[in-house]
Structure 1
């Protein structure tokens, strides 16, 4: 029995190394990206619901972008706080701000996709750049960096949405590591030619891509997924590229309690259930191999069965994974996270198990 477990463990090691070197290495070891400025007219789209504090702080940062031709489309999704009043003030203050007021619709009540659809239709530019109300660009060259990746063929650009660093917070390290690992995956698969998701915190595409798939209509009944489900449906090898220069990043405020973060992750994982079968398979296989990499050696080492070989395989896998994560973290300016990799990975794996089980018995909360 133990020999079979050992053989299976060796197989899991092969799977893990194949993922890290064969897939994630495509991004980790990619050449540094260059910014070639283009004068493409851009509509920056921000959808907000009860975000008065965030929009007060962050919308001016968008307005200060160093770009020759852009508008900011502010969508107020029936906010009950002062968000709409603040947006109306910005509309008067900045000549390139366009305001879209969304009233509650019985058929689409509380559905962010409905609000985004109205904003996309109102946008005057053909190239759209999305971020969230609680996000802000890391530089005044954000629009330049993201738009520089558009070509005649590449009409979808996947960007990186970082989270702010909170000193001495282990939860913050977990959140940022999970965000880094997710980015490594969707950047790598996109480079291979199999894009499957993007994040609404930093995402760009031509308006024609939206209408080519009839917008969000196929998943309108699913409250979340205006970013990843749309990309899962619209992105192809020929039309998708990535942006990973430091100027292209956005920053978001992370959750500060485990409860709030778990609610957020429950929503994300529930949405992934609607990905294409092949995408769910590759994500599931990676996660299962991660889990088995942790569990199988515990059994083998408990019986001291071929313990030298087992420890050698564990070391090999961690060495390969650490190198790939380290190079990727360097590209995405997340240097400190790589030092916490082994510990945070284990915590994250078992957190995901908890979320999977919880989602079976109750539905996660979506748009506010």
Structure 2
């Protein structure tokens, strides 16, 4: 009995508070893992429809994308779909994009080129170009991608076509980044993976809040019925996620993650370019609906507090073992969910690096959030 009493450790009020906050963050973290993200890990993957039911229009905005168009546009033009057109908006390019598009237009009857002339009044960036492309589309169903993207298969459009249910007006697709050597590329792909897991999982739960313009679709009638980008035309970014955030509902939105319906994209190759890209996304997020901002802020705050409490626990010898136990249990449980999702979303090579990349991503997001407070300027290209 005496020996047992000697092993009892009395915690101070500060230590109890630190451990309590750590456990609370762990519980909330598990909620997102097991009751939100697990839905994407367990949902059955819907096969693309075997035939094209209705005509559709692909919209691509390009600014100084001559080389990417040469490389990737043929894969879009040669899609296995019976009735579609491809609209490429040349947004004030000066690198030979016009010449490349003229050559493609002679080869492909389905290609329609829209040119945005240079001028001071076009201050809205990509949103103006997207609007011009939508206006030029002859079909109601619009599929969007970027000039530096290429579909994973010739059946991409079969998967991204309008669902048979007419009330489905928005399709959220998935666009992974190609693999390159280096830590930056691993970080970019891991961050893209978690972003996709989040928006696709919440869409499955009936609360869609964003999509990515590299691979998404919606009705032209939905766009004009809601006056396009008028509500956020003053924001340089957000032609994709802000539109979805404003108009997607549990009833009118579906997701597509089948490997054939994915669109691969070229990642940034420098840390500075990647930071500029993330600053644009950070600015658009401020315009999300209140409930979406609350949930996303809560996610980030819980992750921040979780790691801060772990660091703080290192300064209290009495908390070493319980803190290590909570951290180990967190990693163990999440390793049953996220590696499976990494393989499902075409990043199998990152599964083994999940714990390390999780910490590195946390550090990067904190750094990017602080930087975004002081750097306000953002452009679409």
Could you say which TM-score interval applies, normalised by the shorter chain? over 0.9
Partner of 2:114: 100
Q: Identify the residue that residue 259 of structure 2 maps to in structure 1.
A: 246
Determine the structure 1 residue equivalent to 2:126: 112
- Residue in 2 aligned with 1:336? 349
In structure 2, the residue matched to 1:87 is: 101
Deviations 1:188-236 (A, max 9, x none): 0000000000000001011111112110011011111000011111111
Match for residue 363 of structure 1? 376
1:125-153 CA-partner distances (Å, limit 9, x unpaired)? 11000000111101111001111645212
Conserved? CA contact 1:162–1:176, under 8 Å = yes
Q: Does 1:202 align with 2:212?
A: no
Q: Please state whether the residue corresponding to 1:214 is helix, strand or coil.
A: coil
| Cα distance in structure 2, aligned partners of 1:112 and 1:182 | 22
Q: Which residue is equivalent to 1:302?
A: 315
1:217 alignment partner in structure 2? 230
Query: 8 Å contact 2:65–2:147 — kept in the other structure?
Result: yes
Between the aligned partners of 2:141 and 2:247, the Cα distance in structure 1 is 15
Note the C-alpha offset of 1:305.
2.3
Q: Give 5+ residue unaligned stretches, structure 1.
A: none
Secondary structure at the counterpart of residue 302 of structure 1: coil
Relative to the length of structure 2, the TM-score reads: 0.93
Q: Which residue of 2 aligns with 1:21?
A: 34
State how far apart, in whole Å, the 2-side matches of 1:164 and 1:150 are: 32
Matched, 1:144 2:158: yes
Give how far 1:110 is off.
5.7
**Alignment correspondent of 2:81:** 67
1:123 aligned to which of 129, 137, 142: 137
Stretch moving more, 17-26 or 289-298: 289-298
Pairwise CA RMSD of aligned residues?
Answer: 1.3
Q: Of residues 77, 81, 84 in structure 1, which corresponds to 2:91?
A: 77
What SS does the corresponding residue of 2:142 show, helix, strand or coil? strand
Answer whether contact 2:15 2:319 (CA < 8 A) is retained. no
Tell me the equivalent position of 1:320: 333
Say which SS state the counterpart of residue 43 (structure 2) adopts: coil
Separation of aligned partners in 2, 1:150 and 1:77: 34
- Residues 1:159 and 2:148 aligned together: no
SS for the counterpart of 1:154 is coil
How far, CA to CA, are the matches of 1:214 and 1:277 in structure 2?
21
Q: Find the counterpart in structure 2 of residue 134 from structure 1.
A: 148
2: CA distance, partners of 1:356 / 1:333 = 27
Larger Rg computed on CA atoms: 2
Work out the CA distance in 2 between the residues paired with 1:79 and 1:150: 38
Identify the residue that residue 5 of structure 2 maps to in structure 1.
none
Once residues 112 and 132 of structure 1 are traced to their aligned partners in structure 2, the CA distance between those partners, rounded to angstroms, is 11
The 8 Å contact of residues 48 and 155 in structure 2, kept in 1 or not, is answered as no
- DSSP 3-state at the match of 1:128: strand
Q: Distance in 1 between matches of 2:19 and 2:167?
A: 47
2:288 to 275, 282, 285: 275
Q: Which 4+ residue blocks in structure 1 deviate beyond 4 angstroms?
A: none
**Matching residue within 347, 351, 356 for 2:364:** 351
Q: What SS does the aligned partner of 1:130 have?
A: strand
